[in-house]
DNA sequence: ATGTCC
């Protein structure tokens, strides 16, 4: 009979690394021993941890047991006030999560964007400013998930006249789901010292190399479309007009996912919070783990950017041209920013677009509704942020159960969109009305132009879509 | 989001 994690919790093992380690070792060394004997041994380690520090078998368990001086935190009795944009279209679960986040002792300010919906810990569309603390689940699992748009001096009418050619360019130069490039392109990011100096990051380097330039699954996409610039974008000398553009949405693939998983576990093991807030566990920025996370998060952000740049580079080569402009922004990340007094804040944007004064950003709609090129207005109440899209109005499960393929096909046809891949969970009707969402954030961003998708590639891998 | 469970 094998011991379970539950048995170990019952005899006083704290949640964390020691538990897993003890399970592994006891089953390795005492696999044939009766259950009571295994329990007796482990009880002794809990009761007299120090005596086992040098134990040949259980030394590592004792070390892990001694390690974290677990810090039990309390929430403030009431939540700090925070601004909500488009509250009437935001689900209760997201509001509850934000309310909890506003009770953390490290929280300084918060805001909820109009595309908000429930997530793990901080809601998607949540912005949270803290003092000297970073919350891995306040950044999200896909660290550095971002948008990137390149705009070309090509008449967008060619999306109709050369549709098969453009589809082929997308198919040949993007990879979705588990697929990666046979010959990944090298990138300067692989010379970064974080890949050798941080153990967890080192263990992820080979896969990061395999996956660079790939897009993954879920709501990620690469699409050609028509940009209509209404307000000149002086950074690029881009005049009002209609252009062909490429828009991509993806993140840091396995690299960021595993960095997030690793440091979330450390945070949850060392920063114990009441059940309702447990996913908001933070790392102090001056702790070793906090500093490591900060470096690893920034690396994952730069890696996500590198992936987009390779996508756009490959496609620009396919188009035999160079872009007139490139606009990009993270929307799952934490930044060091200053408050009104000039003191440093850690601003978490989990599915929120940076919208500081003058800052360019991209807010996508869905596969068959427009997205927008925006310039931030720097509104303090929004913590210099805006939405990162339309936001889901339906869970993936519900979308797959209730939306019919025929309905989506008609919608795509009416919108003049060619779709490669994607499941019903990404259907336009699973998302809020982007126009309403934009209306709710008029004070946060100025719209400079729109982007209408025309040839869209998303993940067509059934392994990711779980069509039940 | 993620070779979708250490």
Which 3-state string (H, E, C) describes A250-299?
ECCHHHHHHHHHHHHHHHHHHEECCHHHHHHCCEECCCHHHHHHHHHHHH
A222: annotated binding-site residue? yes
Predicted pLDDT of residue A127 = 98
What is the distance between the alpha carbons of residues A348 and A344, in angstroms, rounded to a whole number?
A: 13
Residue A53 CB contacts under 8 Å (≥ 6 apart), including other chains: A59, A62, A63, A66
Q: How many CB atoms lie within 10 A of CB A295?
A: 17
CATH dotted code for A146-253+298-326+354-464: 3.90.1860.10
A49: its two tokens: 């941890």
A277-CA/B2-C1' distance, Å: 23
Burial (0-12, 13-18, 19+ Cβ within 10 Å), A418: buried
Q: Which residues are A242's β-sheet partners?
A: A228
A5-CA/B3-C1' distance, Å: 25
A152: its two tokens: 């070309």
A339-CA/B4-C1' distance, Å: 39
A366: its two tokens: 């869905």
Which nucleotide minimizes the distance between its C1' and the CA of A425?
B1
A203: annotated binding-site residue? no
pTM score > 0.85 for this model?
Answer: yes
Predicted pLDDT of residue A467 = 46
A114-CA/B4-C1' distance, Å: 28
Tally the residues of chain A.
468
Decide: CB of A464 under 7 A of nucleic strand B: yes
Task: Exactly one of A262, A309, A388, A440 is catalytic; name it.
Answer: A388
Decide: CB of A141 under 7 A of nucleic strand B: yes
Burial (0-12, 13-18, 19+ Cβ within 10 Å), A234: exposed
A384: its two tokens: 């210099």
What is the distance between the alpha carbons of residues A346 and A336, in angstroms, rounded to a whole number?
A: 5
Residue A81 CB contacts under 8 Å (≥ 6 apart), including other chains: A102
Decide: CB of A361 under 7 A of nucleic strand B: no
Decide: CB of A207 under 7 A of nucleic strand B: yes
Decide: CB of A447 under 7 A of nucleic strand B: no
Decide: CB of A460 under 7 A of nucleic strand B: no
Predicted pLDDT of residue A109 = 98
Decide: CB of A249 under 7 A of nucleic strand B: no
Which nucleotide minimizes the distance between its C1' and the CA of A466?
B4
A325-CA/B4-C1' distance, Å: 36
Residue A119 CB contacts under 8 Å (≥ 6 apart), including other chains: A94, A97, A126, A140, A350, A351
A296: annotated binding-site residue? no
Nucleotides of B under 7 A from a protein CB: 1-4, 6
- In which residue ranges of chain A is CATH 3.90.1860.10 found? 146-253+298-326+354-464
A262 classed as catalytic: no
In this complex, the residue with its CA at the shortest distance from the C1' of nucleotide B3 is A178
What is the distance between the alpha carbons of residues A149 and A196, in angstroms, rounded to a whole number?
A: 32
A239-CA/B2-C1' distance, Å: 41
Reading chain A (468 residues) residue by residue, the pLDDT tens digits are: 777 777 777 787 776 667 777 777 887 788 788 878 887 887 888 888 888 888 888 887 877 777 655 668 999 999 999 999 999 999 999 999 999 999 999 999 999 999 999 999 999 999 999 999 999 999 999 999 999 999 999 999 999 999 999 999 999 999 999 999 999 999 999 999 999 999 999 999 999 999 999 999 999 999 999 999 999 999 999 999 999 999 999 999 999 999 999 999 999 999 999 999 999 999 999 999 999 999 999 999 999 999 999 999 999 999 999 999 999 999 999 999 999 999 999 999 999 999 999 999 999 999 999 999 999 999 999 999 999 999 999 999 999 999 999 999 999 999 999 999 999 999 999 999 999 999 999 999 999 999 999 999 999 887 766 544
Which nucleotide minimizes the distance between its C1' and the CA of A332?
B1
Cβ pair A442, A86 in contact under 8 A: no
A15: annotated binding-site residue? no
A113: annotated binding-site residue? no
User: Residue A107, Cα to own-chain centre: how many angstroms?
Assistant: 21
Best CA proximity match to A143, nearest among A286, A13, A261 = A261
Of chain A residues 165-204, which have a beta carbon within 7 Å of strand B? 178
């Amino acid at each position: 009979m094998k011991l379970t994690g539950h048995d170990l919790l019952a005899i006083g093992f704290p949640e964390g690394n020691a538990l897993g380690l003890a399970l592994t070792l006891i089953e390795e060394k005492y696999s044939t021993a009766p259950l009571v004997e295994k329990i007796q041994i482990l009880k002794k380690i809990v009761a007299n941890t120090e005596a086992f520090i040098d134990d040949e078998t259980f030394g590592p368990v004792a070390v892990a047991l001694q390690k974290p001086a677990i810090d039990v935190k309390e929430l403030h009795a009431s939540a700090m006030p925070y601004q909500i944009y488009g509250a009437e279209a935001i689900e209760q679960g997201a509001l509850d999560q934000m309310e909890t986040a506003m009770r953390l002792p490290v929280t300084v300010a918060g805001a909820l964007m109009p595309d908000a919906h429930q997530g793990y810990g901080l809601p998607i569309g949540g912005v949270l400013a803290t003092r000297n603390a970073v919350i891995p689940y306040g950044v999200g699992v896909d660290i550095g998930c971002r948008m990137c748009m390149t705009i070309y001096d090509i008449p967008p009418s060619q999306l109709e006249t050369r549709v098969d050619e453009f589809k082929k360019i997308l198919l040949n130069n993007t990879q979705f789901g588990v697929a990666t490039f046979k010959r990944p392109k090298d990138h300067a990011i692989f010379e970064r010292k974080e890949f050798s100096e941080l153990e967890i990051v080192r263990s992820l380097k080979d896969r990061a190399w395999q996956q660079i330039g790939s897009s993954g699954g879920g709501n990620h996409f690469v699409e050609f479309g028509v940009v209509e610039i209404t307000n000149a974008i002086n950074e690029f000398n881009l005049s009002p007009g209609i252009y062909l553009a490429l828009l991509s949405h993806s993140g840091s693939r396995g690299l960021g996912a595993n960095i997030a998983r690793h440091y979330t576990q450390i945070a949850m093991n060392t920063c114990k919070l009441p059940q309702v807030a447990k996913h908001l566990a933070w790392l102090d920025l001056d702790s070793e783990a906090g500093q490591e996370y900060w470096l690893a998060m920034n690396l994952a952000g730069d890696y996500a950017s590198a992936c987009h740049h390779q996508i756009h580079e490959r496609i620009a080569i396919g188009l035999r041209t160079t872009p007139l402009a490139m606009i990009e922004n993270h929307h799952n990340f934490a930044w060091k920013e200053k408050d009104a007094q000039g003191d440093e804040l850690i601003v978490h944007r989990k599915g929120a677009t940076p919208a500081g004064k003058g800052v360019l950003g991209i807010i996508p709609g869905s596969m068959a509704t427009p997205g927008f090129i925006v310039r931030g207005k720097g509104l303090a109440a929004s913590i210099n942020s805006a939405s990162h899209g339309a936001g889901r109005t339906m869970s993936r499960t519900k979308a797959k159960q209730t939306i019919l393929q025929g309905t989506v096909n008609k919608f795509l046809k009416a919108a003049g969109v060619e779709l490669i891949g994607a499941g019903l969970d990404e259907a336009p009707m699973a998302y809020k009305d982007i126009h309403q969402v934009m209306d709710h954030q008029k004070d946060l961003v100025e719209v400079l132009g729109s982007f209408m998708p025309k040839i869209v590639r998303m993940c067509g891998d059934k392994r990711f879509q779980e069509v039940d």
